[in-house]
Structures are given as C-alpha cells and as structure tokens.
Structure 1
Amino acid sequence: MMAALAPGFVVGLVRGAQPVAAPANCNSTSAEPRVSSPCPTGRFGRKFLRNSVIHEATNRQEPARDRGADMNGWICHGLITAICAGLLLGLANPMTWGAPPQTSPPSTTVDVPAPLDQWPAWRGPLATGEAPRAVPPTTWTETEHVRWKTRLPGRGHGSPVVWGDRVYVTTAIPIGEELPPQSTRAPGAHDNVPVSRRQQYVALALDRDSGTVVWQTVLREAFPHDGGGHYTGSLASQSPVTDGRKLYVSFGSEGIFALDWEGKITWKRDLGRMYPVHGHGEGSSPALWRDLLFVNWDHERESFLVALDTATGEERWRVARDEITSWGSPIVLEHDGEPQLVVSGTRRIRAYNPGNGNLLWECGGLSTNVVASPVAGDGFLFAGSSYDTKAFLAIRLDGARGDLTGTNQVAWSRNRATPYVPSPLLAGGTLFFLHHYQGVLIGVDPRTGEDRPGAFRLPGITDVYASPVAAAGRLYITDREGTTVVYQQGERPKFLAENRLEDKFSASAAIAGSQFFLRGDRWLYCLQDDEPAIRP
C-alpha cells in the first residue's frame, strides 16, 4: 500500500519538536466578518463589518507568558508530537478508494496541532488536494460565513498554508520610484507584462482567529531580472511549506528562505537565476521530507533538482535534469516502505530516492509546458499535461524501476480532456481533474481510468487556475472570477452550491478544521459556518 506523506510529521520523527502555539478557536459562532488591513510596521488595527458599516477597534497586546508554563509546554509538545507522528505513520496505509478515511474529529484538548488537521503545503497534508479531517462550509457570500477577510499588500498567487493558529502567505510588493519599464528578452515572449519598480519579496503570518497580521518579513528587495512574467501570473506564485517548526519559502531566482515562528530569517540560499520559457515566470513550490527541503529548477538552461538541509540551508545533494521549463511541484510518496520523490517533466516523469537523489524510475509521455503537479495513491502515480498535446498517465508503482516508457507499468493513459494548469485531485476513491483549465471536471476510476462519472460541466465556472480541493465528502472548484462550486461526492456528484466573492482567484484553496481559506488578488478570506459542524 502507498500514500503521499504528510510533510510535517515525517520531519518530527527525525528532529526534536519545538513548541507551537495552540490552535485557533475554530468554534466561535460569531457571524460578523472581520476585515483587517496589514501595516508594514507590524502594528495593526482591526475592523469589523457590522450592518454594512466598518468600525475601527483598538490594538491589543498579547499578555505576558509564564516561563515555567512555557517549559512545561515544550516537554508536553515533544511527547505529543512524537505520539501523533507515530499514529500518522500507521494511518498512511489503510486508506481505501471506496470512501474518505474514517478518522476521529480534531481534538480540542491537545495543545499541539495534529498534522492531518493542518494544511502545511500547497496540496494539503496528504499532497492529494484533500483535507481528510476537515468540515469546511458549503455556502458563503461577501457578507455570510466570512469569519474574516484581510487586505493583502502587493500581489501573489501562492496558496496559503495553515499550521496551528497561524496562516502563512507570500507576496511581492512594488516599492520605490517608477523606473523605465523592462520586459523579458526571452525568445518567443508573448502575453507578458513589463515591470517598472523594485519589489519586496515578503512572507506574512496572520492570526487564524482574527485575520490580523502577526508579522510581515521582507526576505529580499530587488528589481525582477526577467520582467513581470505572463499577464495572468505573479512574482510570488510559489506556495510556502511548513513542518510545524519553520516556514520555508521559495522565491526562485530571488532566493530560498527559512523563517522561525517569529518571522526571523534563520537561513537563506541563492540558487542563481531561472530563465523560464517565453519569460512566463516561475512557480514551482518546494516540498519537505524529514530534514530535507526539495526545490525543482526546470528552465531553459541547465535544469536541476536540489535537496537543502532544513536546519542550515546547506546543499545535501543535487542532480541534473535533462528538462526544459516546467512549473509543477515535487511530491513525496511512500510505496511498500520506500519513499520516492516524484517530479513531472516534459521529457520524463522521474522518481528519485529523496535521501540521495538517485534515480529510481522514469517515464516519458507528457507534453511541453508541464504545469500540473502529480498525485499519488494506493500504488499508483498520476500525472497529466495539456499544451501542444494532451496526455495523462497512471503509473503502477509495484516493480517500477528504470525506464517505464511504453511498458505495462503504465496501467492506463488518455489523450483527451487532460489538465493543464490545475493539478489533479484524489479524494473519496475517485481521481478528478479539469479539462485544460476550463469549467469541465472529469472523474475516473484511479485503477482503470474508466469514467466515474466521466466529464460534467460546472455551472457558472469560467477559466480555472486554482487546483480543486476536497473535504467532508465534498468537492470545491474555484475559478478566476471568484465563483466556487461545491459538489457532494458520489456515483454522480450532486451539485450543492455556487458561491461568489468579489475578487480574482488563481491560488488554490487551503482547508483546515472548519475553515476554508481563499487567497485572491486583493484579499485573503477565512470562510466558516456560524456553527461549525463536526465530522462524524
């Protein structure tokens, strides 16, 4: 049996755990959306939307903490984290295709976040797009079921990640005077935007309960070396990742960074400049496994995959990749007790030993401009693309070694209605993916590729860049114009709701507990029912 590894708990087995603040109170029944505006100085006011009127509230300070209580918390935290990690290793295998995993509701008495209750990386705790223990809302509007919304500075398409009582996002903020606009000089450049100001590359932590900014750290200031990228992209499109002790951020050409829980940079690493095809920008997010951080660097020059030590940022290994530009992110899975680091690419999908970078297997068959990341479950690896050609492959992991191209290790494939920008979703025993980036969702049997239920059009949905997500037996698909449709999973998914927010969305959603987080071009939303449900 095989499951994608939750990035946070594996690291906890290798290194001693650090104290983490208690989870936010997710059971508040307040129906008032809270609107927060960040301030670069770190001091912030809170605004409450009440009867369509915004009111200012005073700043509040955190009470002084007892050091003896803190020391006790450190000890308890380490013990509980070790126990949770051991339990999660046992939970990884019994997952079946027939139904979502049967788990207990999140505990409200333990002061250490359980990894399966978090959203520690771009595709969630299992790297599949599903939050296995969450019960988010089904409906919302700008004035209903909005716990809070916070105006974000700058612009970015990286998805939020959630751990304990914090939500983390990244952004690029233009600063300084206007300079002569500069565009990419990449061959074949088209649909790009020039850039005329220096940028601050920033990480932010927000309080999960209120949406106020806890800290805002400038990681680097620079003028982008390759223009502003594609007009639909951003200069902060990579999502951060956390192991519950540090936050790891990739800004690609502008550096790789690790931050502690207070927002201080503990190390940074310069991997050089990236030159994507057509100057269309960067976007591959990093991945974690034990004490290693993986960064993929596919571009129009010498491509590579690198593993960095999470404690120091030192390079542990690096392998060259015979690849052109791709934007997909690495994933780590485990099959029959063997961890595998998988990266999609135009010439090959490749699996590496995450400990040393040795190649385990490879398989050709995808198109150019690979954007969607792979997903894995129950003995299979799934990868798709849709640019100059359409391709989708299901690779059987039993016995996978060497070059698998054209062998029976490819369990099934398809060359129609395949994903381009959004990544596949594996939830409730069905593999879902969008047709290109259009409002058509396809559901298939993961083992055979047969339609289950096949393609169906999503009402009200236009172009989709955000990857679909799932929780509590429901599917959530958000388009770029602010519409999210919700379906109940089943033999034929049942339409539940069409929700609309007044923003543009390219980032994928994050789900944790009873909350659904959506990052738009302007706002970060925390959506929650007035009386949150508890998963049975």
Structure 2
Amino acid sequence: MMLRVALMVLVLCGGQVVSAENWPAWRGPRSSGVVPDRKGPASFSGTRMWKARLEGRACSTPVVWDGKVFVTGLIGENDSVQAFDLRSGKELWRKELGAARSGRTQRIGSSANSSPLTDGKHLYVYFKSGTVAAMTLRGEVTWKINLDEVAHPDKILWDRGTSPIFAGGRLVIAVMQQAGTSYLVALDKKNGSRAWITERPFPTVGENGDSYSSPFVETVDGVETIVTWGGDHLTGHHAATGEQLWFCGGFNPKPERVWRTIASPSGTNGVAIVPHGREDRVAGIKLGGKGDITKSAWLWSARGWGSDNCTPAAHGNRALMLTDTGKARGTMTMVDATTGKKIWQESLPKSVHTFCASPVVAGKRLYVARRDGTVFTASLTADGMEDLQEITIEEGVIASPVVVDGKVLIRGDRHLVCLW
C-alpha cells in the first residue's frame, strides 16, 4: 500500500527535483500548481504565523525569490508593489507606479488581479490600468509602458485578470475580450518594446469572448508553444513569433451566452485540462497538430466536477480539480489526465462559502484557501485525502497559496500571511 501511495505522489509530482525554493510565478516553478520534493506545514497554529499589512486590497498571488516576497496591489490611488522579508514579514521596500484603475467589483475583483513574475533578475508586473513594468528586485523601475498604447484598448467587461508568462525569451500577455480586439503580445524583457502581436479573432456571442485565464507554455511537436484558452477555443501559438499553429473548438456548441472563462487550463503529459461551462464541465484536449484539430483532439469530457475560478493542479498523468462553486463546491477530484477516469473524489468541509484560489500540491500535501479565509491542508494518498487540517486567517482570500521554505504564504484582503 505504501509503495502505491509513493508512486501516486511521484506521478503527480513528475519525479523531478527543484534546486531552489523560489516561487517565480502564479502557479509555481513549473506553472502547474505542483511542486515535488518540497515540504510545507502539516498543521497550522495561530502561534506559528506572521502577518504583514498590505496597503490596499488586490487579488494577485505573491511571488518569492531568494527569501523576498513581492506583492502587487494598491497604495492610495496608485498601482504599487510591496516587498517583504520571507522569514520575518518585515517590509523591505514599496514602489508606486502611477494611477490605478479601480476594479469594477471589489468583492472578487481589483485593480491588481494579474500576478507578477520574476526571472530572478527582474520583477515584471501588470495592472488593470494597462501599466506593465519591469523592476529590479530592489524596487528600481527599469522600464514602464501602457499596454493599451502598445497593443489594443482594454474592453473586457470586468477586470483584467490574465497573468503574464515568459515564452520565447520574452514577456507574453494574452488579452481576450468580447467588445474589443483579442490578442497575444510579446514584449522585450530588457526594454518593454513590442516584439510581436497576434490577433485571436474567434467569433463569440454574449460574454463568451471575455477570458480572465492565463496561458501556459509547453513543448508540443518539438516547438515551444503558448497554449491559450478563451473565446470558446483552445489555441497553440509559436512562442518565437506568435503564429497560431492550431486551434480546438467544440466547447460551446449551442452556444450558451455567459460562458466567459476564468479558470486557466493546465498542461501535463501532452494534454490540456480545460475547465469550461462555468463550474460544470471539464475536458482533456490532446495538444498538437496543425490548423483545426477539433475533431481529433478531444480525449475526454466530463460534467458535474469542473471549476469556474480554480485552475487544476497537474503533473505526470494526473490532474487534481477543485470544484469551487455550486452544490458540489469543495469537491476535490483526482483524474487520469489522458482518459479522464476518476481516481478518487472527496469533499472538503461543507460551507456556504466558495473558492477562488487554485489548489497547490507540495510534496505529499495539498493546500487550499477558501474565499472566507479558511486555509486547508491534507495529505494526498492513492485513495484520497487524510489528516485534514484547517485554520482561518479571518479575512477574505482570492489569491492562491504559495509554498516555499517550509512555509505557506496566503495573500488576504488586508494582510500577507505566512504560516509554518
């Protein structure tokens, strides 16, 4: 039995080793929500934590490099970045980057929904205002642009939420919007100049063209490929040029008019795990090919245990879904990424509250934060979850957990919280 458990965890974690405990991007070092050979706390206590005050509410997830935590947000009426010491929670510096645009709803939106990312030399940030900037890890601005001026105006219905990624040696941002031009744009990391821009003109109805999901990068057919989800289509783009290599439809044949997308897809084992249809549906799509791959790419589809907001954790041939809203909210489902077969399905404690934060797996443990500030951890086994622990940080949570150096960072509405 123990061997079977060890193999299950090894498969989910990909059997790979991380050389340094950094958290450079929203979904971690592999952009998958899974970090093998890393230990977080197995239990929580109010005596093992620090809290650092954040100047303004925002929804972005922190990043960590070399013992420093970087958080985007709001100071007064300006877009901002705050940096903290991971061990103590002491604020190291803060920087304001110009006028912010307030979130359309302060319940689940903000002026800083997009998470920052770092390559260890610079920090890259993106705000609803359109401001995109590169900074040193000491807070010095290297360059700053406005995306609306470099590309196309922001016309998305709610608030910008897509997080930037690195691809082809550049900074890439996806913008998908019903009322405006949808596109992917690549910026030079050194100076912010536009390297390429590719429009993504899929016809959609209602709110379906608006997407708040983030792309991921995968080597597909030997090519570094940017996999992007929104506008009822999954697309693959050449990382060096932005050229669209393939696309997959079939997600909304009726079509329903309010199927905007929030949860991002996750890639593993040559398959994209794509939540769609609000919280009701999920699909496994085989990556690769040329042109329209709709007829050949669908490996499986399922209903009743998808997610509206939360991105799956995925690695090896396993994907872990958190159903975040609706009657099944709090349901965790482990599936075979290639076949969609359920391996196990269990539920977190019932609550009226929903989830926005995506699940994270570190070593053998799961970390999940609920919207009301309840943070869960459980041991993953071959058959489900055990040793469930929880704590409340007593404020709302939208951002996803970060696990580094034996600690869990949670960005709340008012504080950055560290648990160990």
TM-score bracket for the superposition, by shorter chain length = 0.7 to 0.9
State the match for 2:404 in structure 1.
512
Task: Calculate the TM-score normalised by the size of structure 1.
Answer: 0.69
State the match for 1:98 in structure 2.
11
State the match for 1:49 in structure 2.
none
- Structure 1 contact 428–473 (Cα < 8 Å) conserved: no
Query: How much does 1:144 deviate?
Result: 2.7
State the match for 1:358 in structure 2.
243
Q: Within 5 Å, which residues of 2 pair with 1:285-324?
A: 285-299=163-177, 300-323=179-202, 324=209
State the match for 2:43 in structure 1.
139
Q: What amino acid sits opposite 2:181 in the alignment? A: E
- Structure 1 contact 430–452 (Cα < 8 Å) conserved: no
Give yes or no for the alignment of 1:376 onto 2:267: yes
CA distance in 1, matches of 2:312, 2:227: 15
State the match for 1:172 in structure 2.
74
Deviations along 1:207-247, one digit per CA (max 9) or x if unpaired, are 112111111010112454xx633632111111000011100
CA distance in 1, matches of 2:58, 2:9: 36
Give yes or no for the alignment of 1:153 onto 2:26: no
Q: Which one of 276, 283, 286 corresponds to residue 156 of structure 2?
A: 276
Q: Which one of 401, 404, 415 corresponds to residue 303 of structure 2?
A: 415
Secondary structure (helix, strand or coil) at the match of 2:314 reads strand
Which has a greater percent of strand? 2
CA distance in 2, matches of 1:222, 1:469: 30
State the match for 1:401 in structure 2.
290
State the match for 1:498 in structure 2.
390
Q: 1:256 to 1:161 in 2, by over 3 A?
A: same
Secondary structure (helix, strand or coil) at the match of 2:230 reads coil
- Structure 2 contact 270–286 (Cα < 8 Å) conserved: yes
Q: What amino acid sits opposite 1:434 in the alignment? A: L
Q: How many residues align?
A: 391
- Structure 1 contact 140–500 (Cα < 8 Å) conserved: no
Q: Within 5 Å, which residues of 2 pair with 1:427-442?
A: 427=315, 429-437=317-325, 438-442=329-333
Give yes or no for the alignment of 1:233 onto 2:136: no
Query: How much does 1:409 deviate?
Result: 2.1
State the match for 1:521 in structure 2.
413
CA distance in 1, matches of 2:32, 2:101: 35
Could you list the runs of 5+ residues in structure 1 that have no partner in the other structure? 1-94, 107-113, 175-198, 529-536
Q: 1:465 to 1:222 in 2, by over 3 A?
A: closer
Deviations along 1:85-136, one digit per CA (max 9) or x if unpaired, are xxxxxxxxxx9973534456x7xxxxxxx45x21100001111101223201
Q: What amino acid sits opposite 2:296 in the alignment? A: N
State the match for 1:471 in structure 2.
362
Q: 1:294 to 1:252 in 2, by over 3 A?
A: farther
- Structure 1 contact 460–498 (Cα < 8 Å) conserved: no
Deviations along 1:427-460, one digit per CA (max 9) or x if unpaired, are 5753111224321122211121011113x22115
CA distance in 1, matches of 2:315, 2:96: 37
- Structure 2 contact 75–96 (Cα < 8 Å) conserved: no
Q: 1:435 to 1:472 in 2, by over 3 A?
A: same
Q: What amino acid sits opposite 1:285 in the alignment? A: S
Secondary structure (helix, strand or coil) at the match of 1:316 reads strand
- Structure 2 contact 268–317 (Cα < 8 Å) conserved: no
Query: How much does 1:168 deviate?
Result: 0.5
Q: 1:130 to 1:223 in 2, by over 3 A?
A: closer
CA distance in 1, matches of 2:320, 2:229: 18
| Runs of 4+ with >6 A deviation | none
CA distance in 2, matches of 1:102, 1:430: 13
Q: Within 5 Å, which residues of 2 pair with 1:3-152?
A: 98=11, 100-102=13-15, 114=19, 117-141=21-45, 143-146=46-49, 148-152=50-54
Q: What amino acid sits opposite 2:391 in the alignment? A: N
- Structure 2 contact 183–200 (Cα < 8 Å) conserved: yes
State the match for 2:256 in structure 1.
none
Deviations along 1:374-431, one digit per CA (max 9) or x if unpaired, are 11111212211233x843221223x5222111x2321111233211001111157531
CA distance in 1, matches of 2:286, 2:302: 15
Q: 1:165 to 1:290 in 2, by over 3 A?
A: farther
Secondary structure (helix, strand or coil) at the match of 1:253 reads coil
Which deviates further from its counterpart, 367-376 or 332-341?
Answer: 332-341
Q: 1:506 to 1:431 in 2, by over 3 A?
A: same
Q: What amino acid sits opposite 1:476 in the alignment? A: Y
Could you list the runs of 5+ residues in structure 2 that have no partner in the other structure? 1-7, 203-208, 253-258
